[in-house]
Structure formats: structure tokens, C-alpha cells
Chain A
Amino acid sequence: MTTEQNKKPKFNKNTFFRVIRLLFKYYPVLVPLTALCIVFSAAVSSIPSLFVQRVLQAVDTALKTGDLNWDTIKTSIFPTVLLLACLYVLSVIFITLHTQLMAYITQGFLCKLRRGMFEHMQDLPIRFFDTNKHGDIMSYYTNDIDALRQLVSQSLPQLLQSAVIVLTVFFIMLWFSVWMTLIILVGVSAMILVSRKIGGGSSKYFVRRQISIGKTEAFVQEMMNGQRVIKVFCHEEAAINDFDKINEVLYDDTFKANAYANSLGPIINNIGNVLYVLCATASGVFLISGISNVSISGLAFSISILVPFLNMTKQFTGNLNNLTQQMNAIIMGLAGAQRVFSLMDEEPERDDGYVSLVNCTVDENGNILESEKQTGKWAWRHPHGDGSVTYTPLQGDVRLFDVDFGYEEGKTVLHGVSVYAEPGQKVAFVGATGAGKTTITNLINRFYDIADGKIRYDGININKIKKSDLRRSLGIVLQDTNLFTGTVMENIRYGRLDATDEECMQAAKLAGADDFITRLPEGYMTELNSNGANLSQGQRQLIAIARAAVANPPVMILDEATSSIDTRTEAIVQRGMDKLMEGRTVFVIAHRLSTIMNSDVIMVLDHGRIIERGSHEKLLSDKGVYYQLYTGVFELE
């Protein structure tokens, strides 16, 4: 085990105050109100011993003096009981109020956090999603939010409540008797010592158990994924033996971790019992031997003090126990909060672009005029420093000049790449995995920013164009099709939100998807879930193409869009693609050379450099790398 895994989680003050600040920021009235309610009801629940003492004193005196008239005693104790009853009624009201408020605040807080996280996440650069595991990102929304929920709804209120009770009870105890309080303090120190000791051992095993759970999960996952291979190789026995070993370790760690944790409660509880007994005996001894009492109240030691005192012992130890147990939950909650904050603190994607895409009309003289209405014609609106504005028609002319780029600083993966794509041209990239094909497309839509060189769209440096407008002018179809939960129609409309049903269907027809969609049980209204699991790979891809088609951008990027489809299905998809590509500037990345042979220019990439460029015929006659790829001498994995 590494030292990091052995490290005990610590209480993080900064995160703690940040959570509190956020709570106050979101609910500036309700949070202090709730806190007040908690303090009041906690105080009320710790003072009955004062009342009990007064009532019992009256009873005790009556018994001693033999004056056993209930009516006279009743009149003397009734006001006390009534006052207590009133306090109780108030307390119940406050408790109801703060528990209801807490439910409201917790969920509101979590909802705001969730939304904040999600909205912030939408603004993060693609780099964040490329460098973080998706499972880890999801864990912010599930595990960490759950930990925070525990923190806000339970731990924080209980912390306040227990703290108030422990304090008030402590003062009441001093009020009654200093000697007895000392006895309790000694017992409590023992309790804290034991819980520290056991708690320490337990947290060590909990870390081990967590590691064990991870290992078991990884093993089970691997075996379940490879279950078919296990069957084919009759490897069941060996798999069972391996699993038994891992399972045994997990059992051992779980057993030890839980044994510690389980024993802690009863042990603390029973130390409380011992304390209770000690108090009872000691006070008995005090009373009988007549040791003089020292107390704030100046009350003498009597049976009427003893009874409430014993009750307070339970209350004191119980709440102290509660406090120590909440500490673990608080530390876990803060760890969750810290991770949530780390996501919120991630630097969002910057956008300094000021050139925007606008609808336009062209007058008889060929001048471009901006239009409020949908005209179907688009132009780049380019404001200049002197206040003047120029308009450039949207055409789809994309040029890269000597572009260098590296995902990490100092590790350049693209070297001096220049590509000129005129409107309507089809440019293909070929090369081994890691040669830099996808990287180039990542730069054109500014998922990543180039290190050196220049990229121009319709003659405008893309750094000057608003990112959302730049991306709107570029359509993408990726190898991994990502569809969203919703109907087929909604998925197609994702390309252009104001597209009518007819336009969506038109796009589907263009992509060649209409045929299978209409055969789905609900046609265009068929609900897709789990990324369209009920569709085949090819069908998903067709929907993705229709989605890009409805957006109708002048430039398309097709990144391995057909690579996981078999050649016959590809032929169908290809027809859709060909339709889609008509009249547009297209960048194609493909594994299969048959897909790109008819491109205007083919770029062969190797280790981030363009090593060959030209048409299919030219490259074949050159008998270079492309020729070797084409004839199958090279492997493209």
C-alpha cells in the first residue's frame, strides 16, 4: 500500500467554511432561521433536568415532612410543569420548523449545486473531457453529491444540535454539582480515548476495504466481459479459483473494518452505562456520607439533584458520542464538497471572438445587408476597431497555414501542417492511429487552440470568430455516434433547433435514414434511450448524419464516420454521405480507403506531418506510402 492510501482523511477548514458560505449565500434568511430553531430546540431538550429537580424537591420535602396533601403540592409544582409544557410545545413547533426547512434547504442547495456544476461543465473545454475519465466526472454528480447531501441534511444540523446540548448540559451539571461533573468528565475522557483508538483502527481497515472492493469490482468486471471467452476455453474452474482468492481478501477486510465500527457503538454506549452506574453510586456515597456539595447554584446535594443528574449523564454521553460519530460523516462530506468545488473551479473555455454569424440579404449591387429575419443566407459580421462593420458571405473556405500543435506543452504532435480547402472541395486525411488526423479537425472547430500558425475561415482568423458561431458553421459526424434520450425526431432536430418536422424528415431522407426510421414501431416518434441501444450501429450513424444534414452547414467534418459499419451497409450510408457532401467543403477521415478515393485532395499523415498530398490517381502513380496502404502492405491500426 502506498502512503497516500494509508493517509487518514483530515478535516478541511477551508472547504468547511466554503460550504457554510454557500449555504448562507443561497439562503440568507432561511439558514440562520433554521440554525436558530435548532439552537432553541436543542436548548429546550437539555433543560428539563432543572424542572425535574424543582418538582422532585417539592415531592421529596413533602415526603420528609410528612405533609402529604396533593392539592397543596399540586399548586406548588403545577406552574413548573405548565412552564415546561409550554416550552415543549414551542420546542415541537421549532423542531417541526427546522426539520421541514432543512429538507427544503438541503434539496434546494443540492439542486443549485447540481445545476451550477452542470452549467459550468458545459462551459469547460473539450480538453477537460479528454483528460478526465468519464466515470470520474460522473462521480461528482453521484457519490460526491450524495456525500454532500449527508453533510448538509444530517451532519451539520446534528453537529449544531449536539454541541448546544453538550454545552448546556455541562453548565447545568456544574449548576448542580462540581464533584459529579468531574466524575463525568473523567468518564468522558475515557470514552473519547477509546473511540479515537478504535476509530483509528477502523479507518485504516476502511481504506483497505475500499481498495479491496475496487479490486473485486475490477476482477468481476473483467470476468463478466470475458465470460464468453471463459466458456469457449472451458476456463471456468480457473476463474472460480482466482475469484475465491480475491473474495476471501475482501471478506477479511470487510470483516475487520466492520468489526471495529460495530464494536465502537456498543462500547461507547456501555462506557456510558458504566458512567451512569458510577454516578449513581458516587452520588449515593456523597449523600450518605454527607460530603458537602460544590455547585454554581449553591444547592446542597439531595435526591432531587441525583435523579435529573443521572438523566443528564445519558444525555451528555449520548450527544458526545453523536458528535464523534458525526465527525467521520463530516470529513467524508467535506471530501465530496472539495471535489465538487474542484470541478466548479476548473477554468472555463475562453471565447474572445467578436465576429458573428448573421442572416443577410444581398441587394442588386451585390452589397450584403444584415437581416433580422431568417433568410437562409448567412454572412460573417466583422466589427472593426474604428467602429465600422464589414460583412463577408459564409462560403466554407477553410485554410490552415503552417499549424503546429501539441496537447501538452513541449510535445508537439502536429508540425507545420498546411491545408487549403476551397468551398465545395473534399479533403481527406489518411494515416495510422496517432498520426494526427483527428487532431486537425479538433483545431478547425477550436476544441483545442493551435500553438503556432494560422487557421482562416472565409479569410477570417478563427480566433476572431465567436466559438458558437464558428461551430455552427461546421457540421461534425464522429465515429462514436452519441445520440440523446428522446425521440428520433428530437435527435435529428438537435442539429437545428428551429427545424420543422418536415425539414427533419427531409434531412433523414437525404441521409437515407428515412427508410428504416419509418419502419420503427413509432416511426419518428420512437423513443431512443441508452445512446440508441435499440438501433444498430449503422442506423445510429444514419441518424447522426441526418442530424448534421438538418444543420446545413457549409463545412462538414466526417471523422471515421463509417469505420465500424460493414462494407455493404456502408454502401447505403455512403449514399447518404455523398448527398450530404454535395456542394460543401468536407474534411474526411477514414480508415477504409474506398471511402476517400474520390476526394479532391488526399493528405497522408505520419507522426503529425503531411508526407504526401494529391488526388487518388496521383498518389497511386507516385507509388509512395499511400500506394502501399492501398495495396494492403501496411497495417493501419
Chain B
Amino acid sequence: MIKKLLACIREYKRPTILTLIFITGEVIIEALIPFITADLVNKVQQGAELKGVVQTGIILLIMAVISLICGGSAGFTCAKASAGFAKNLRRDMFRKIQTYSFKNIDKFSSSSLVTRMTTDVANVQMAYMMLIRMAIRAPLLLTFSIVMAYVMGGALATSFVVIIPFLVFGLLLVARNAMPAFRRVFKKYDRLNESIEENVRGMRVVKGFSRQEYEKEKFAFAAETIREDFTRAERIVALNTPLMQICVYFNMLFVLFIGSKLIITSGGSVINVGDITAMLTYGMQILMQLMMLSMIYVTLTMSSESIKRIVEILDEKSTLTDPENPITTISDGSIDFCDVSFKYSERAERYALSNVNLHIDSGMTVGILGTTGSGKSTIVQLIPRLYDASVGKVMVGKKDVRQYDLEALRNQVAMVLQKNVLFSGTIRDNLKWGNPDATDAEILKACELSQALEFINSFPEGLDTMIEQGGTNVSGGQKQRLCIARALLKKPKILILDDSTSAVDTKTDMLIRRGFKQYIPETTKIIIAQRVASVQDADMIIVMNNGEMAAVGDHESLMKNCDIYREIYIQQTNGGSINDD
């Protein structure tokens, strides 16, 4: 898992390695400074010459400056490495997601994909930055300090034999107890926030039923529970500070008392006054680094969840692949379903579509009616191979859709989705999705056909009108008409409208269909609709029910033979007749 992630470092290996080098340099010098300072202090104590003292001082100064340069550069390269790593992660994830099939997309909700690409990547970036800065610094400084302390202090360094195991044990104990406690709390905390969100969203319901007091009580209970759990978890972590202080204090007393004894008994030969400074500094350094290591441990375990979620995206394999020798041309717009059954997930018990056999001639207009969940959308999604049939085969232009190059197939089978989306940008930008090379004349023609021209012209900026994210500044009906125009610009052999005129008034709806008949007679047109009026004059109407084709025929024959169709018809016209013209 980690391997997969680290493979994304790529060109940022260089700054990563540079960081490690700079930090090593900084650490070596930092570890040497107290050593040489002690030497200086000893020299002073023994009454050395001014010249010698100044010389050592200058050496120390140069060392400190080098350490400063190393430290500063490490900060720089480390920022580059971690930001670059994060960039590559996002880049790879985005690319990977672009290869996903509809089936893959169904697996992840779009909000979860967004969180993975933002929050989770940010977590990993933080962890990586900490890792390359601290993971080498802490152990290195630790080892150096311990070695130096032994070299200088000899017996004095035995205090570390006591302190280090004590502190390591203590820190681990705290981390191991605190982490699961925190994880539990965070889950509860998420739930608390979810319930706040419910309240914010449903405030009309809360107030409508006068349930404010009830909600307050409910919230108070949840908030108090969380407070108890949080306090418990934080109190465990809070033990770190006194633990650390005990060690610092112990070291101080030990060095002071035993150090004095050593100096006196040896007459200053084994250890000297200057060494005491170094021992105190090293002691501090050792303890700080142990603390750092425990922080790294916590950060890494905390970010493991994010790592898992990122790798999940990178590991997901697209369920649709291009065939080996793909066909790139599609002869005509005929469609055949041969014994097709389909379910969205292998584990699903029921087929969403079962035993569909159907032939549609090129250039036909086909209407599909049925309740929600009856399989209307499912059946058309198999045509541009958004999903593969579980059983049987779907053919376009007399060839199995799985033999075509995916892009070629989808370019010839234009589909206007039910949950349609316009992107931020001008109307022209959006329409050019259908054909990047479309001229203004072509765009306007498509808009005319989809009855969008009139309202586009009413905007002062015309085609250059900006669409806001999610298309919130155009009405539902206008949005649908723009989406149809976008699909028309593909000049497809097959055009599928999945409930794409539901917000358009009946008259415009009719004009759109009339335009289709007149200007794109060769294109096979499949129209899914709620309104009978939208499909009434189709060459063929399919009535879907519970994933099966309940009936196929034209309006007259269905009125005679199909109960469901007749029921829908009567319900919508309420016995009266609809004035369609």
C-alpha cells in the first residue's frame, strides 16, 4: 500500500534526498556544538589564552552559520518535496478517476472523491513533510547525543539508561491508549456534526413542529457524552508533559549531583565543569527527540486512514476496457438487444433489466415510458456502453458494442443524461463539449433545433453568457435545452434523451421533437419521458415495468393492449384531451 503511494514521488525524489542531506548536516553540527562549547568552557576554566578561546569561538560561529544554512535549505527543499508529492498524488488520482467506468463511479460518491483528493491528500502531505524532516532528524540527533554524552560524560551518561526506557515506555503507553480513544471520539464527533447539519437543513421542520426544545435536549445529551469522551482522551495525552518534565528534572539533578561528585573525586580529570553544560544540553536534546518520535508515530498512524483511502482510488481498476482491435467506424444507427439482462452489482439479487430483446432500425424515433426504477435509464445506458450487459449482447450498427473503440462509439451515440450538468464557463464553452471545432454557425443551428436560441439571444452576452457552477443561473428548462444542443453538436448516429425535457413546456417539447424529425431524420432518436405527450407520436413506444419490457408498439396499439400505458395516459390527460398543437 505504502509502496504504491511512494511511487508518486517521482521527480520530487531529488528535493526529498536533498532534504535528508541538509538535515543530516544540520544535525551533525547541532550535535557537535555543545561538545565544542564544552571544550571552550573548559579552556576558559583552565585559564587558556584569549587567542585560543576566540579561535574556538570563530569555529563555533562558522558551524552555527552552516547549520543555519542547512536548516533553512532543508525547510525549502522539504516544502518542495511534500508539495510536489501531493501534486503528483492529486494528478494520478484525477487521471485514474477519468478512466473509471460508470460502474466505478457508482462505487464512490462524488463527495467522497472530493474529500479524498483534498483533505486526505493534505493529510498525507503533512505526514510526508513531517516524516522527511523529523524521521531522520530525530533518530540521528538521538544517536549522536547519546554517543556524545557517553564520550564526554562517561558514567554521567548512565542517567540516560534510566530515563530513556522510562520515557519511551511512558510515551508509548500514552500513544497507545490515546489513539483508540481519539478515534472513537472523532467518530462520535462526526455524528454530532451530522446531526447539527440535519438541524440546519431541516430547520423548517424543527420549527414547523415546534421541536426546538426537544432538539436542544437531544443535542445537550450528545454534546455532554462527547465532552466526557474527549476529556478522557485528552487527559491521557496530557500525561506526556509531566512525564517529560520528570525526565528533564531527573537528568538535571543527576548531572548536577553525580557530576559534582565525579569532578571532585577525579580532580577534574574524568569530567570537568564545562562538560556539565554539554551534559545538560544533550539531556534536553535526547528527551526532545524522543518526544518528536512519539509525535511522528501518532501522525503516521493517524494518516494511515487517509493513505488507505487514497490507495483505494489508485488501485481501482476500470471495469470497461477497449477491445484489442477496436472498430472505429459505426455503419449506421440501428440498435439490437439480444437476450440482454443486467444488474448494477454482481451481488445484487435482482436484475435491473431482464430478458430484453429488441430491434431498432436506423433513423427510428423510439419512446420509453415507465415508473421510476422500472429500468428506463438502465436500458439506454447499455447503448453507449456506459455499462456492459451482464448477460446477452447489445449491438449498434450490427456489431457488438464491446468491439468498438469506446471513444468512437460514444462519439456516435450522444446521450443527454437525466442528471445533467453544465460546467462553469460560457455557454459557448459548454456547447463545444459536443464538438471542440464547432463554428458559431453550427452552434447556433444546434441551439435553434433544441429551442435554446430564443433565450440565448435574450441574454445580453448571447453565447458568451457565463454559466455558474452547477448551472444555477439558468432555469431547469433552459438547462435541459442547452444540454440537448450540446449533444446535437456531436452529429451523432444515435441520440438518447433520458428524461431531458421534463422541465420544458409541452409546446417547446413538441417543437424540439418536430425539429428532430425535420433536420436529423437519419439519426436514431430514443426519448425517455414522463409525459405521454412526449412519446405519443414516436415510431415505437416501449413501456418498461419492473426491469422488463411490458409492451412495445405505437400509441394506438398500446392504448388498445397495454393497461399500464392506458392508465398513465388517462391519469395525465385526466380523461380530457390535451391540446398538443
Contacts and interface: CB of A to CB of B under 8 A. Distances in A.
Interface in B74-102: 74-76, 78-80, 82-84, 86-87, 90-91, 94-95, 97-102
A632 B423 contact: no
Given A227-B110, A244-B91, A571-B571, A63 B209 contact: no
Contacts of B415: 232
B419 A476 contact: no
A104 interface: yes
B514 to A, nearest CB: 15
Given A108-B227, A224-B110, A284 B44 contact: yes
Interface in B222-270: 223-224, 226-227, 230-231, 234-235, 237-239, 241-242, 245-246, 249, 252-253, 256-257, 260-261, 263-265, 267-268
Contact of A234 (B200, B411, B503): B411
B118 interface: yes
Given A55-B260, A258-B129, A632-B578, A274 B65 contact: yes
Interface in A491-505: 494-495, 497
Interface stretch (B54-62, B142-150, B153-161, B292-300): B54-62
A277 interface: yes
Contacts of B478: 637
Nearest to A52: B256
Interface residues of B, number: 164
B414 to A, nearest CB: 8
A83 to B, nearest CB: 11
B561 interface: no
A591 B230 CA distance: 49
B193 interface: yes
Contact of A232 (B133, B193, B417): B417
Interface stretch (B271-279, B339-347, B391-399): B271-279
Nearest to B480: A637
B574 A594 contact: yes
Interface stretch (B322-330, B354-362, B468-476, B552-560): B468-476
B426 to A, nearest CB: 15
B114 A485 contact: no
A258 B82 contact: yes
A103 to B, nearest CB: 4
B263 A63 contact: yes
Contacts of B373: 536
B330 to A, nearest CB: 14
A85 interface: yes
A447 B204 contact: yes
Contact of B47 (A218, A282, A288): A288
Contacts of A141: 193, 196
Given A287-B44, A303-B41, A497-B214, A59 B273 contact: yes
A494 B238 contact: no
Contact of B48 (A218, A235, A288, A571): A288
Contact of B75 (A106, A259, A567): A259
A99 interface: yes
Chain A: number of interface residues, binned into ranges: 35 or more
Interface string A594-608: 100100000000000
Interface string B192-209: 011111111111111111
A390 interface: no
B56 A281 contact: yes
Contact of A478 (B75, B204, B277): B204
Contacts of B91: 243-244, 247
A59 B434 CA distance: 89
B210 A468 contact: yes
B280 interface: yes
B43, B210, B508 pick with most chain A CB within 10 angstroms? B210
Nearest to B226: A111
A228 B113 CA distance: 14
Interface stretch (A70-78, A162-170, A328-336, A454-462): A70-78
Given A60-B45, A471-B208, A68 B133 contact: no
A355 to B, nearest CB: 15
B260 A73 contact: yes
B547 interface: no
B83 A482 contact: no
A241 B207 CA distance: 48
B386 A485 contact: no
Interface in B18-65: 26, 30, 33, 37, 40-41, 43-45, 47-50, 53-54, 56-58, 60-61, 63-65
Contact of A250 (B33, B87, B235): B87
B571 A594 contact: yes
A115 B219 contact: yes
A266 B571 contact: no
B207 A92 contact: no
Given A55-B256, A236-B98, A476-B208, A274 B61 contact: yes
B75 A121 contact: no
B209 A118 contact: no
Contacts of B277: 307, 310-311
Contacts of B198: 482, 484-485, 531
A216 B572 contact: no
Q: Binding site of A, secondary structure by majority: helix, strand, loop or mixed?
A: helix
Contacts of B465: none
B14 to A, nearest CB: 14
A413 B202 CA distance: 24
B401 to A, nearest CB: 14
Interface stretch (A9-17, A122-130, A171-179): A122-130
Given A262-B79, A306-B44, A231 B102 contact: yes
Given A259-B80, A274-B64, A111 B224 contact: yes
A371 interface: no
A258 B82 CA distance: 9
B404 to A, nearest CB: 12
A239 B433 CA distance: 11
A102 interface: yes
B245 A95 contact: yes
Given A88-B253, A92-B242, A284-B40, A267 B68 contact: yes
B424 A222 contact: yes
A284 B205 contact: no
Nearest to B266: A68
B281 interface: yes
A635 B134 CA distance: 64
Contacts of B105: 227-228, 231
B177 interface: no
Interface in A464-491: 467-469, 471-472, 474-476, 478, 480, 482-485
A262 B76 contact: yes
B574 A85 contact: no
B122, B209, B227, B371 pick with most chain A CB within 10 angstroms? B209
Nearest to A84: B253
B94 A273 contact: no
A566 interface: yes
Contacts of A531: 198, 201
Interface string B396-417: 0000000000110011001101
Contacts of A284: 40-41, 43-44, 53-54, 56-57
Contacts of B475: 433, 637
Nearest to A629: B505
A51 B406 CA distance: 81
Contact of B264 (A73, A220, A256, A547): A73
A621 interface: no
B496 to A, nearest CB: 9
A84 B256 CA distance: 10
Given A122-B206, A134-B197, A285 B64 contact: no
Given A281-B61, A567-B572, A103 B235 contact: yes
15 contacts: A92-B246, A227-B100, A250-B87, A261-B75, A266-B70, A270-B72, A274-B65, A276-B33, A280-B37, A280-B57, A497-B214, A567-B572, A568-B571, A633-B505, A633-B507
**Across the A-B interface, the 8 shortest Cβ-Cβ residue pairs:** A266-B71, A281-B57, A482-B202, A262-B75, A632-B506, A263-B75, A270-B68, A635-B505
